[in-house]
């Protein structure tokens, strides 16, 4: 019998810098930045007698944050129900997908506990208490409310949650010691489970960022997942024949090549991402449905607008790539360019040395122009007037290259690209300006790594 296993994993949040709405289509590139706020999963598990198949998932940062599952010994991935009747579609879909993939019904019994933690950037900080791990390496905020009653900031908490739980379970059942060999399997399982939980096939960029980190992303074909989501097993989960067929189809799908683009990237040195929570909130599915409905009703106009928006997105991606090349070729000249930029802007000088930075500002301005056109055409609040005023004001702050409403847009947040050295001044300036009173700058930055294995010791005492 296998001895006790203890492993921990973390996955980052995300910000979609370029690719809003186009990310839904497999022919367009998007630029996704992974963030320093991460979701964490600490697994402790051991083998038991075959008739015992138990998984407990705890999220002690929230009230009533415990979900216990006593699974069917014969079909452990079927009829997954929490002991106290507490529904969590994301956990249920994750267990179903992973347990089917690893052929859990043919394995020894197991008793697994997974503790979930989320970094402070994912949720509101209101009415919280901070706790620090015994070794001081982790600090989390504890809420008095249930998880579904706490406001989120839109960093992709569900994608991160499913990613780390999937990674933890796969590591236990496969015994694989190298996270790299698990990465593609984690991604494919997570995408399927996440779509099942949401009852729709999303673009998948949030899951891809959680697993692979900062990436230039082009989505998989939605039809890949469609068949497994419609499998008859979902309506008759106690049927052994359907369970066997579902398991085989799932294993084949997870192990196949999805032919999507995940090209690693990172923001250029000296340029930071700064996110502000605007504390209003938006309904992303509603925004997306408005845009998709409009494009379907106006195919010619829609295609034209999408193509010019794609061109602007490509300009930003190219401009960021160019800065990496310049930094590699001549680090000293690159540093001088960063220092000279603000002086050139203030003096109105057309200084050739800072032109690569101007390209970023120009690309962001063009992206915003086309997103405002999409707002006007569809009626979806992609860049609402209040956000336009806020971003225009931010763009005039020293060191700010430009800013957008990330992802699907709306009132949730804004995202700025700022010269690193200018950030302290920017924060002080906005703190003293009533215009920015409804903006909370989030304590996070780009962290380009995706899924990582971490030390279980870092969570002791929490």
Q: Report d(CA 407, CA 283) in Å as an integer.
A: 12
Confidence of residue 351 (pLDDT cuts 50, 70, 90): low
Among 273-277, 325-329, 341-345, name the one with the lowest average pLDDT: 341-345
Same domain, 239 and 334: no
- The alpha carbon of residue 369 and the mean position of all alpha carbons in its chain are separated, in whole angstroms, by 25
CA distance readout (Å), 219 to 24, 30, 173, 202: 7, 9, 28, 10
Same domain, 275 and 347: yes
Contact 135, 457 (CB under 8 A): yes
Same domain, 225 and 298: no
Same domain, 277 and 407: yes
Helix (H) or strand (E) holding 50: none
Domain containing 298 — which CATH number?
Answer: 3.30.70.890
Q: Report d(CA 40, CA 12) in Å as an integer.
A: 9
Tell me which residue of 140, 138, 113, 117 sits closest to 129, measured CA to CA.
Answer: 140
Joined together, the tokens standing for residue 163 give: 């990613």
DSSP label at 176?
A: -
User: Is the pLDDT assigned to residue 368 strictly greater than 60?
Assistant: yes
Tell me which residue of 391, 139, 133 sits closest to 276, measured CA to CA.
Answer: 391
Q: Report d(CA 193, CA 188) in Å as an integer.
A: 9
Ramachandran area for residue 249 (φ above 0: left; ψ -120 to 50: alpha; else beta):
alpha
Same domain, 18 and 149: yes
Q: How many structural domains compose the chain? A: 2
Looking at the DSSP bridge assignments, the partners of residue 415 are: 275, 404
Joined together, the tokens standing for residue 44 give: 């402790």
Same domain, 209 and 295: no
Q: Report d(CA 324, CA 153) in Å as an integer.
A: 30
Same domain, 233 and 319: no
Burial 250-259 (b: 16+ CB within 10 A, else e): beebbeeebe
Q: Which domain holds residue 91?
A: 5-263+449-459
Domain containing 36 — which CATH number?
Answer: 3.30.230.10
Same domain, 394 and 330: yes
Mean pLDDT of the chain: 93
Confidence of residue 50 (pLDDT cuts 50, 70, 90): confident
Joined together, the tokens standing for residue 258 give: 């999805």
Same domain, 244 and 339: no
Confidence at residue 151, expressed as pLDDT on a 0 to 100 scale: 82
Helices (H), 175-276: 179-198, 205-212, 223-229, 240-254
Same domain, 62 and 206: yes
**pLDDT tens, residue by residue, 62-99:** 999 999 999 999 999 999 999 999 999 999 999 999 99
User: Is the pLDDT assigned to residue 52 strictly greater than 90?
Assistant: yes
User: Is the pLDDT assigned to residue 281 strictly greater than 60?
Assistant: no
Same domain, 321 and 198: no
Classify the C-alpha dihedral 419-423-425-427 as positive or negative: positive
**pLDDT tens, residue by residue, 93-124:** 999 999 999 999 999 999 999 999 999 989 88
* DSSP line for 6-35: EEEEEEEEEEEEE-TTGGGSTTS-EEEEEE
Which residue's structure tokens are 């970094």?
119
Confidence of residue 279 (pLDDT cuts 50, 70, 90): low
Q: Report d(CA 360, CA 216) in Å as an integer.
A: 16
User: Is the pLDDT assigned to residue 384 strictly greater than 70?
Assistant: yes
Looking at the DSSP bridge assignments, the partners of residue 399 are: none
Ramachandran area for residue 12 (φ above 0: left; ψ -120 to 50: alpha; else beta):
beta
**Pick the residue with more confidence: 347 or 193?**
193
Helices (H), 80-148: 89-101
User: Is the pLDDT assigned to residue 23 strictly greater than 70?
Assistant: yes
Same domain, 193 and 273: no
């Amino acid at each position: 019998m296998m001895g006790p296993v203890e492993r921990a994993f973390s996955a980052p949040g995300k910000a979609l810098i370029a690719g809003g709405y186009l990310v839904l289509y497999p022919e367009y590139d998007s630029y996704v930045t992974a963030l320093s706020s991460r979701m964490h999963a600490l697994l402790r598990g051991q083998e038991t007698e075959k008739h015992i198949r138990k998984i407990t998932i705890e999220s002690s940062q929230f009230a009533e944050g415990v979900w216990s599952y006593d699974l069917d010994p014969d079909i452990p991935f079927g009829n997954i129900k929490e002991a106290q009747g507490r529904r969590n579609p994301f956990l249920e879909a994750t267990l179903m997908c992973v347990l089917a993939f690893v052929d859990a019904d043919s394995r020894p019994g197991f008793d697994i506990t997974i503790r979930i933690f989320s970094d402070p950037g994912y949720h509101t900080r209101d009415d919280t208490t901070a706790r620090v791990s015994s070794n001081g390496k982790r600090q989390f905020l504890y809420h008095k409310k249930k998880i579904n009653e706490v406001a989120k900031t839109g960093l992709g908490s569900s994608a991160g949650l499913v990613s780390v739980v999937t990674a933890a379970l796969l590591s236990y059942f496969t015994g694989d010691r190298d996270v790299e060999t698990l990465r593609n399997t984690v991604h494919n399982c997570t995408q399927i489970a996440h779509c099942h939980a949401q009852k729709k096939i999303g673009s998948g960029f949030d899951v891809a960022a959680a697993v692979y980190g900062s990436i230039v992303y082009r989505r998989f074909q939605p039809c890949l997942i469609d068949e497994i989501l419609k499998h008859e097993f979902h309506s008759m989960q106690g049927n052994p024949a359907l369970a066997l067929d579902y398991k085989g189809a799932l294993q084949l799908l997870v192990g196949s090549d999805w032919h999507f683009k995940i090209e690693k990237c990172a923001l250029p040195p000296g340029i930071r991402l700064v996110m502000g929570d605007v504390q209003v909130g938006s309904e992303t599915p509603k925004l997306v449905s408005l845009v998709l409905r409009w494009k379907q009703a106006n195919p010619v106009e829609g295609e034209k607008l999408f193509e010019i928006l794609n061109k602007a997105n490509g300009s930003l991606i190219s401009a960021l790539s160019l800065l990496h090349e310049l930094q590699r070729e001549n680090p000293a000249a690159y540093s001088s360019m960063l220092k000279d930029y603000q002086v050139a802007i203030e003096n109105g000088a057309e200084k050739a040395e800072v032109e690569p930075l101007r390209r970023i500002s120009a690309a962001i301005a063009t992206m915003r122009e086309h997103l405002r056109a999409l707002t006007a055409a569809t009626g979806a609040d992609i860049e609402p007037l209040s956000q336009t005023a806020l971003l225009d004001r931010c763009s005039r702050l020293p060191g700010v290259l430009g800013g957008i409403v990330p992802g699907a847009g709306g009132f949730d947040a804004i995202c700025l690209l700022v010269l690193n050295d200018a950030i302290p001044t920017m924060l002080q300036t906005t703190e003293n300006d009533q215009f920015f009173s409804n903006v909370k700058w989030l304590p996070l930055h780009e962290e380009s790594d995706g899924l990582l294995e971490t030390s279980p010791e870092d969570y002791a005492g929490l």
